[in-house]
Structure 1
Amino acid sequence: MSATTRGCPPLRGAVIGYGFIGALGHLPAYAERRHRRGDVEIVAIADICEARRELAARTYPEARIYADHHTLLAMEADGLDFVDICTPPCDHAAIAHAALDMGLHVLCEKPLTPTLGEAAALLEHAEAAQRVLFPCHNYKHAPVVRAIRDIIDSGRIGDVQAVVLNTMRNTHAKGVTEWNTHWRRHREFSGGGIAMDHGSHSFYLTFDWMGTYPVAVTAKMTNMAAMRYDTEDNATVTLTFPNGLASAQLSWTAGVRKVTYAIQGSRGAILVDDDDLQVAVMRATDGPDVAQGAVDWDVERCSIASHWGDASHTTWFDALLERFRRAIATEDWVSRDAHEAYRCVEVITAAYQSAADGCREIPLYGSVHLLQHHVESVAHVGEAIAVTS
């Protein structure tokens, strides 16, 4: 029986995938947490690349190193509480199912899976196994994003009616040089391009800020590097919610690394430019004609250090790990976060279908069970996406 089952910390975990995010994001965060709180420790690491395994062994000599997740689970499962999956998305489902079969909790990098059928199966497996399935939705824990949540909760800007999210990058996120630096641009590993990679972050933030889930999706995508890669590098996705609209503009060719968010409410708005946050709230009105300046505004500006330039986002991981631990402690096997991960895959799947079909609006179904027939009809739609240069 594992330490967590007995209710005794620390949690004992294994990291599967020692690429960029595993090596520079998750593992340093675990080491820091172990040093400060002593409630988690990583006892094993697996990676299919020999050079990465050698580096892991030098960096974490106390951890046992394995060539694949099969061997790691066979040797370590009895002494583990969880696995943390940091591989490319193509392997998420298989590793997660294997861990759940061994009675382990699962923390998984986004997107949860590249396909909707895989995502549905994982949620059902976690519920049946009574083990936590938890996504790494780390943007929720950026300090400036947490400030947005606090402002919305305060009611200062009224009811959120629209959201605009711009994620600008000068290139796709590169993998480690020892393995496959450009795996995010190859569908067989990534499952898709920037909509698959950055889409999850934008979409789960819209769910949170709009306070509900979308009912339809429209999308346009292009690939300016179509001669080299088979995944999109630009995507514009519009989500229709019962209470408004959200628009996400995602680019790997923007010439800059930046995020800008606008959360528009019935009495005000929040504007974010990386760490800079501005809140504008209507204070008083002298008449009905708002457009002619009959409104006074209270405007506040501040800067909240969130380290957007650090792609490892290590400083955001502690709060995410705390939510994972809480889900385990409360036996919340398939939490709201897990359902949001599923909904992200649903939106991404529908966005690919819309882009491949002339930006047609695609309805969303929501329920895992009701979606099965829909899953089968769009399982390979990503392959048909227009990749105009």
Structure 2
Amino acid sequence: MSGRLAPLRVAIVGYGVVGPLHALAYEMLARTLPGASRTPEVVLVIDPEPASRARASREWTVPAHPPGKVRWDQFAIDIVDCCAPTEKHAAVCGEALTAGRSVLCEKPLTGSGDESSALVALSESGRGVLGMNFNFRHVPALQQARRLVRSGTLGEVRSLRVEYHRSSNLARHQAGEPPNGVTRGALLDLGPHAVDLVHFLFGPITAVSARSHHHGPATSSDDVSKFECSLDGGALGSVEVSKMTSGAANDLRVFAYGTEGAIRFTATEPDALDVFHGTAYRTAHQRLLFGVGDLSEETAVVPAETGSSVLAWHAASLAAFARRTAGEDVLVASAQDGLHVDRVLDAARESAARSAVWTPVVGSVTSP
């Protein structure tokens, strides 16, 4: 016998777009996660839609119920994985934490600094671990970028730029269906990943000057948002998110410029990091290449030289949270990280409403 403890029992709440991806990642982890004392295993799906519940039961042979029909202790749930729409996050996470369960929440935490602050306080009462699935933190090339920044290899980072583009709102507008849903705006949908990467790689944002564009009626969600920002360490940056970029599927880009070097990353080439370094760094270009074997956790039975993927990044994020829940000392994206992102989103919305006036980010936070 291996002596491995019983699996961590996971309930996925929300089986729309992200839920099935998480289920697939958990299935992969149950078979391949090395060294973990307790691997995660999906035992329950919660979703209000009958079609989504039928799909979950068909694909994974697990019970699927509507909200409010089960208690977590009925299925001995250890982790509640919140993949529900953003407007449901506060209720789902609050209920699970109150019941003493650990919660992994999809971005954003709630989209509101005040609501997220209440969840952070609840999690800090010791009822359960609350973490965020900022999966881009687990891209091997971006993990190396963080190491280069933190080691001082780039010198003092003076300026940076993070862009995240998709085309998803184009089709809706062309069909005459402007995206009025609260989860379809670019700032709330794409902004959390972009803001968290600024925090993860370079440090906290302290103030922003933002503008948003609505392709349709002013009451619709923003299609494009952009803000200049100042960071705790003095660097100046910009964040741009758009769901109106023709040809963009999942186009994330990161650029940073320091006194001794620079880095460049694009998700269209996710296993490459361009590094410019040294006294003549403007021409001293080195391209670093990465693969699945460079992830902090091996999460797939594939050769180490195989390129990584969205599934691998999610799996690594879920694996880290499972280990943290099991009591291991593993760095995860925390509730405080989620709160900082929401405070930045609050400031960006306020700034945009006031014609890009510089707006401070409420609260203080340290670098992860």
Q: 1:33 maps to what in 2? A: 29
Indicate which of 204, 208, 211 corresponds to 1:217. 208
Do the aligned partners of 1:184 and 1:193 also contact (CA within 8 Å) in 2?
Answer: no
Shift of 1:155: 2.9
Amino acid aligned to 1:58: R
Amino acid aligned to 1:214: I
Alignment of 1:252-263 (within 5 A): 252-257=243-248, 258-263=251-256
Cα distance, 1:199–1:183 mapped onto 2, change above 3 Å: farther
Partners of 1:115 and 1:185 in 2: CA distance? 20
After the TM superposition, which of the residue ranges 158-167 and 193-202 deviates more from structure 2?
A: 158-167
Do the aligned partners of 2:105 and 2:132 also contact (CA within 8 Å) in 1?
Answer: yes
Give the TM-score, by structure 1 length.
0.78
Identity over aligned pairs, percent: 28
Q: 1:232 maps to what in 2? A: 222
Structure 2, unaligned runs of 5 or more: 293-308
Partners of 1:47 and 1:29 in 2: CA distance? 19
Do the aligned partners of 1:168 and 1:256 also contact (CA within 8 Å) in 2?
Answer: no
Do the aligned partners of 1:44 and 1:65 also contact (CA within 8 Å) in 2?
Answer: yes
Structure 1, unaligned runs of 5 or more: 1-6, 176-181, 285-294, 307-311, 369-389
Q: 1:324 maps to what in 2? A: 321
After the TM superposition, which of the residue ranges 166-175 and 14-23 deviates more from structure 2?
A: 166-175
Q: 1:102 maps to what in 2? A: 99
How many pairs align?
Answer: 334
Q: 1:267 maps to what in 2? A: 260
Partners of 1:366 and 1:335 in 2: CA distance? 21
Partner of 2:120, secondary structure, is helix
Partners of 1:231 and 1:280 in 2: CA distance? 38
Larger radius of gyration: 1
Partners of 1:184 and 1:343 in 2: CA distance? 29
Shift of 1:153: 3.6
Q: 1:204 maps to what in 2? A: 196
Alignment of 1:150-229 (within 5 A): 150-172=147-169, 185-187=179-181, 189-190=182-183, 193-210=185-202, 212-226=203-217
Shift of 1:154: 4.0
Q: 2:303 maps to what in 1? A: none
Cα distance, 1:352–1:225 mapped onto 2, change above 3 Å: same
Q: 1:373 maps to what in 2? A: none
Do the aligned partners of 2:323 and 2:330 also contact (CA within 8 Å) in 1?
Answer: no
Partners of 1:35 and 1:173 in 2: CA distance? 39
After the TM superposition, which of the residue ranges 233-242 and 350-359 deviates more from structure 2?
A: 233-242
Q: 2:66 maps to what in 1? A: 67
Partner of 2:284, secondary structure, is strand
Cα distance, 1:361–1:55 mapped onto 2, change above 3 Å: same
Partners of 1:154 and 1:21 in 2: CA distance? 34
Partners of 1:173 and 1:142 in 2: CA distance? 28
Partners of 1:326 and 1:41 in 2: CA distance? 13
Indicate which of 85, 88, 91 corresponds to 1:91. 88
Partner of 2:131, secondary structure, is strand
Do the aligned partners of 1:136 and 1:320 also contact (CA within 8 Å) in 2?
Answer: yes
